[in-house]
Structure 1
Amino acid sequence: MARLTEEERADLPDEDFALPGRRYPIPDAAHARDALARASAMLHEGHLSPEEYETVVSRARARLGE
């Protein structure tokens, strides 16, 4: 997956993030798949609430057309 530079991330609209606070960028399919994997890990480590996890999953799957 291509990494976003700080400038590229700053240029993304808020709609390209799965969570408020510009968390979990999902501007394309590769980043959406990465967000799904990372969100799962963060949920299991206690860094995401179940509600935040469901939001990330929903937004990432929508980006992937699922």
Structure 2
Amino acid sequence: MSKLTAAERNALPDSAFALPGRRYPIPDATHARDALARASEFYNRGELTDEEYETVVRRAKAVLGED
């Protein structure tokens, strides 16, 4: 998993996150792939709604060029 420092994360625009509240940073392909994995895990545990999961998948795939 790629790490962002607090300063790097704080410097990202809101548009670099898949969900409101600055959740699931996806500024690059590495983070987009990680967001897909984490979203799947949280969705299967019931910690993300269908809509949140679909949003993360859609936004991450757009960063990966898979839209």
TM-score w.r.t. the length of structure 2 is 0.96
Distance 1:47 1:12 in 2: 24
How many angstroms apart in 2 are the aligned matches of 1:14 and 1:45? 26
- Distance, in Å, in 2 between the alignment partners of 1:28 and 1:16 is 9
Q: Secondary structure at the match of 1:47?
A: coil
| Dislocated runs of 4+, deviation >4 Å | none
Paired residues, number: 66
Percent identity between the aligned chains?
70
Q: Which runs of 5+ in 1 are unaligned?
A: none
TM-fit CA distance, 1:2 = 2.8
Name the residue aligned to 2:24: 24
1:60 aligns with 2:40: no
Q: Does 1:5 align with 2:5?
A: yes
Distance in 2 between the 1:19 and 1:2 partners? 19
Q: CA RMSD in A?
A: 0.6
